[in-house]
Structure 1
Amino acid sequence: MNTPAAAGQEHRRLTQQEVDVICAKHDRLWSARLGGARAVFAFCDLSGLVLAGRNLCDADFTGALLVGADLRRCKLDNANLYGADMQGADLTDSSLRRADLRGSSLRGANLTGADMFEADLREGQIAAADREKGYRIIEPVQREAYAMGANLSGANLERSRLSGIVATKADFSDAILKDAKLVRANLKQANFNGANMAGADLSGANLAGADLRNTVLVGVKTMSWNVTGASMEGALTDKASGVDVSDMPYEQMIADHARWCETGGSEGKPSVFDKADLRNLKSIRGFNLTALSAKGAVFYGLDMEGVQMQGAQLEGADLRACNLRRADLRGARLKGAKLSGSDLRDAQLGPLLIGKERLLPADLTGVLLTNADLARADLRGACLAGADLSRANFTNANLKDVDITGTIRLGARGLEDLI
């Protein structure tokens, strides 16, 4: 159903020229120049108009009509969008950090890659100024925030407040929903494939028929939630996946492996962690784990900064949200591994010298690198064929001779010079 305009409230239609003038004055205010004024679009009709790329932080859009508006890359941090109607609007890569979206409608809107950190999308009421009462309620009922069919793939919704939102059939694939409040939210048939919902509150939420495949559900509150008919294949929960590391003498195994590496194989022995759940390790920072075999293992959230894993066998491993800064992964086999949201800044993913004039390139075929940070990483000669690089950061990375055949590069940065 459509969200109706507030009863008895007229909307003043603005022209594109009027909007441009108001935006220019707001920008002058924001940059502390003369002639500035805060943008106030309360109960105005901006449907179909273009505000792309504008800086409208702290602007007032209370009850505004923004149906089908072009808001791509728009900065709307701390903006008041209370009760605004943004059905079908294009908000791709926009910034809505801490924006007030209570009671708003995002039905069919495109919020791909939007930054909605701590945004408020709870239910709300529409009120208007009244000389005698201060504010009078225009609508006597609570209005839910609507995001039915909205595209929020790859959006950052960390710590956002979405309790009571109606987002049936919405696309949250690869979105970040860590510590988000989704109490009593209607999320029937929504797509959360690959989303990170760690620490989210889903108490009383309706997820019937939802796609929760490969979703991170660690630390999630699930009291009275409804997941009837939901697909949860590959979802990561608090329950150990595979062999729990607490059931293995991992400290001795790591010590043996390190000794094996340090002595060139004359002492110790190589460790095998295939399909093991290693999350209880918390940190393997700086460990020498060269040639480690951990196929299909779960490393989710581990501190692995500076780890040495040259030539490691990590096919299908879950390395999401890991700290891999300055990690040495030269020649590693990472085919089909999950690295979404991982920090790989300054990591070495180039070729490994394994013999005289013989190099072993890193294999990242089909790897998931959505929202990963690879700034300044060394990827010389690496194979990334078929990988998902959506919204990944490759700024100043060494990409000489890298194979990016068939990759998905939606919103990726630093790949502009590659064909």
Structure 2
Amino acid sequence: MARTMMERRQLVRITQDQLDQVIERHEMFRNARAGGARAVLSHFDLSGLSLAGRDLAHADFTATALSAADLAGTVLDCATLYACDLRQADLTGASLVKADLRGASLRGADLTGANLFDADLQDGSLASKQKDGGTVVLAIEKRPSDLQWANLSNANLTNARLSGAVALHTDFSDAVMRGARLIRANLRNATLNGAILEGADLSGADARGASLRGAVLTGATMTLTELAGADLSGALTDRPAGKPLDTLPRPLADLLKQHALWVGSAGQEGMPLDLSGIDVRGAGSLSRQCLTRMVACGAIFYGVDLSGAQIQVGQLQDADLRGADLSAADLRGINLRNAKLNNADLRGANLDFLQIDETRAVPSDLSGIRMRYADLTGARLTRAKLVGADLSFADLSQADLRGADLGRAILTGAKLDRTQLAGAMLEGSTGLPPGVA
């Protein structure tokens, strides 16, 4: 058994130049080039060094010191970071898909926007040989993964394993944690506002004092979960939030037909559709429906299929459309002020202004909207109002932003280039691409 255990030894310190040489050879290895070699940096002291933006997938960092290291944007997919010291490290935007982080210390680390899909952050054990008189004995040290005070806001923790992890005061705001295993995790006073915990297992977790405002807990297992003092205001569970569908005056299918008749007859027949405050999640697909001029202020459309729907000049202020499918939808002139569309699919959606006549046009109002990680590939946003919008990590590839007002908008990590912003209003906006004033 002793031969299979890791022997604790003093860490080896190397310079930045030496580290760069190891990384270069690893990248050659990853590209199947001659002279390449997998990076094996187990038990090294790399604290404070830079590995930012490099490809270190499948590298071995077992029990390595990376405290205060710069790992922003680094690819660490399938890397071994077992019992690693990553305290205060910068891992913003890093990719840690299927990484082994068992027993690692991420205390105070910044993992904003990091991808930890299927990563293993459960507890781990280290064994070292110690002398007791003249006898050599094994000392086994059990280490829970330490995420205290870490920032994992906007991180992708889908299917991640965090059972037994210590995450006191950790920030998981707007993190995607679908199917995550948090069995017996210590989440006391953690911030999980807006986190998507759909299908997560929190059995036996300690979430006392945690903030779960607006979190999505549909399908979550919460057997023996401690929630004393937790803030669950606005959280979505399997129970209807707001007003259920059965409070509508007629079945929704009938109301949709009446609304389509009202739109087609310019208000002469049928009746307008008002879904304000209604939880629409149980309505099924609304794909390609005629919802022009629909009023749905504060309605909940979480995960609803609205692909190809016509919602021109719709009033959806404060609505929850997180994870909704709005691809190819006609949203011209829509009002989405302060709505939530994190992780929504808006590929090819039309959010242009709506021309009423020769002199009147209604721009789409997306002021204060939250669209983190939304997919806006090929979307049209001509003259749209995006004042104060949060577009962090959104995909705006090929989106048309001519004349858009992006004043005070947050574009950190957004996928777009500076040519797309030509003619847009950018006063006070942050996270702009390089070269954009």
Bin the TM-score by the shorter chain: over 0.9
For 1:122 and 1:389, locate their aligned partners in 2 and report how far apart those are by CA, in whole Å: 32
Q: Give CA deviations for 1:154-180 in whole Å, capped at 9, x if unaligned.
A: 111111000110011111111111111
Write the letter of the residue equivalent to 2:397: T
For 1:222 and 1:293, locate their aligned partners in 2 and report how far apart those are by CA, in whole Å: 35
For 2:49 and 2:274, locate their aligned partners in 1 and report how far apart those are by CA, in whole Å: 59
State the superposition RMSD in angstroms: 1.8
Asked if the contact 2:274/2:296 (under 8 Å) is kept, the reply is yes
1:33 pairs with 2:33: yes
Q: Give CA deviations for 1:301-331 in whole Å, capped at 9, x if unaligned.
A: 0111101000111111110100110111101
Report the equivalent of 1:23: 23
1:255 pairs with 2:285: no
1:290 pairs with 2:292: yes
For 2:407 and 2:139, locate their aligned partners in 1 and report how far apart those are by CA, in whole Å: 54
Report the equivalent of 1:3: none
For 2:170 and 2:7, locate their aligned partners in 1 and report how far apart those are by CA, in whole Å: 27
Measure how far apart 1:296 and its partner are.
0.7
Asked if the contact 1:125/1:139 (under 8 Å) is kept, the reply is no
Asked if the contact 1:271/1:293 (under 8 Å) is kept, the reply is yes
For 1:397 and 1:233, locate their aligned partners in 2 and report how far apart those are by CA, in whole Å: 35
1:319 pairs with 2:321: yes
For 1:98 and 1:185, locate their aligned partners in 2 and report how far apart those are by CA, in whole Å: 19
Alpha-carbon distance change, 124 to 339 in structure 1, aligned in 2, over 3 angstroms: same
Asked if the contact 2:340/2:369 (under 8 Å) is kept, the reply is yes
- Counting only pairs closer than 5 Å after superposition, residues 37-116 of structure 1 correspond to structure 2 as 37-116=37-116
TM score, norm. by length of structure 2: 0.90
Measure how far apart 1:267 and its partner are.
2.8
Asked if the contact 1:62/1:83 (under 8 Å) is kept, the reply is yes
Write the letter of the residue equivalent to 1:365: S
For 2:64 and 2:221, locate their aligned partners in 1 and report how far apart those are by CA, in whole Å: 35
Measure how far apart 1:259 and its partner are.
2.2
Which residues of structure 1 form unaligned runs of 5+? 1-5, 130-135
Report the equivalent of 1:145: 145
SS at match of 2:143: coil
Q: Give CA deviations for 1:169-224 in whole Å, capped at 9, x if unaligned.
A: 11111111111101111111111112111111111111111111111111111111
Which residues of structure 2 form unaligned runs of 5+? 1-5, 130-135, 427-437
For 2:84 and 2:227, locate their aligned partners in 1 and report how far apart those are by CA, in whole Å: 31
For 2:410 and 2:40, locate their aligned partners in 1 and report how far apart those are by CA, in whole Å: 39
Alpha-carbon distance change, 242 to 270 in structure 1, aligned in 2, over 3 angstroms: same
For 1:206 and 1:191, locate their aligned partners in 2 and report how far apart those are by CA, in whole Å: 13
For 1:287 and 1:13, locate their aligned partners in 2 and report how far apart those are by CA, in whole Å: 63
For 1:138 and 1:80, locate their aligned partners in 2 and report how far apart those are by CA, in whole Å: 23
Measure how far apart 1:260 and its partner are.
2.0
Higher deviation after alignment, 406-415 or 150-159: 406-415
Write the letter of the residue equivalent to 2:311: M
For 2:370 and 2:406, locate their aligned partners in 1 and report how far apart those are by CA, in whole Å: 13
- Counting only pairs closer than 5 Å after superposition, residues 159-178 of structure 1 correspond to structure 2 as 159-178=159-178
For 1:287 and 1:127, locate their aligned partners in 2 and report how far apart those are by CA, in whole Å: 62
Measure how far apart 1:7 and its partner are.
7.8
For 1:416 and 1:186, locate their aligned partners in 2 and report how far apart those are by CA, in whole Å: 43
Alpha-carbon distance change, 403 to 155 in structure 1, aligned in 2, over 3 angstroms: same
For 2:7 and 2:34, locate their aligned partners in 1 and report how far apart those are by CA, in whole Å: 38
Asked if the contact 1:246/1:280 (under 8 Å) is kept, the reply is no
Measure how far apart 1:266 and its partner are.
3.2
SS at match of 1:142: strand
Report the equivalent of 2:369: 367
Higher deviation after alignment, 340-349 or 11-20: 11-20
Alpha-carbon distance change, 359 to 25 in structure 1, aligned in 2, over 3 angstroms: same
1:202 pairs with 2:202: yes
Asked if the contact 2:128/2:139 (under 8 Å) is kept, the reply is no
Percent of pairs with identical residues = 45
Q: Give CA deviations for 1:46-65 in whole Å, capped at 9, x if unaligned.
A: 11111111100000111111
For 1:335 and 1:319, locate their aligned partners in 2 and report how far apart those are by CA, in whole Å: 12
Asked if the contact 2:40/2:59 (under 8 Å) is kept, the reply is yes
Report the equivalent of 1:401: 403
For 2:137 and 2:150, locate their aligned partners in 1 and report how far apart those are by CA, in whole Å: 28
For 2:266 and 2:124, locate their aligned partners in 1 and report how far apart those are by CA, in whole Å: 66
For 1:382 and 1:304, locate their aligned partners in 2 and report how far apart those are by CA, in whole Å: 20
For 1:416 and 1:244, locate their aligned partners in 2 and report how far apart those are by CA, in whole Å: 44
Measure how far apart 1:264 and its partner are.
3.0
For 2:145 and 2:113, locate their aligned partners in 1 and report how far apart those are by CA, in whole Å: 20
For 1:382 and 1:302, locate their aligned partners in 2 and report how far apart those are by CA, in whole Å: 24
Q: Give CA deviations for 1:80-136 in whole Å, capped at 9, x if unaligned.
A: 11111111111111100000000100011111111110100001112589xxxxxx9
Write the letter of the residue equivalent to 1:275: G
Write the letter of the residue equivalent to 2:271: K
Measure how far apart 1:265 and its partner are.
2.9
Report the equivalent of 1:272: 274
For 1:7 and 1:332, locate their aligned partners in 2 and report how far apart those are by CA, in whole Å: 63
Asked if the contact 1:8/1:138 (under 8 Å) is kept, the reply is no
Report the equivalent of 2:390: 388
SS at match of 2:22: helix
Asked if the contact 1:127/1:137 (under 8 Å) is kept, the reply is no
Report the equivalent of 2:342: 340
Q: Give CA deviations for 1:30-87 in whole Å, capped at 9, x if unaligned.
A: 1111001110011111111111111000001111111111111110000011111111
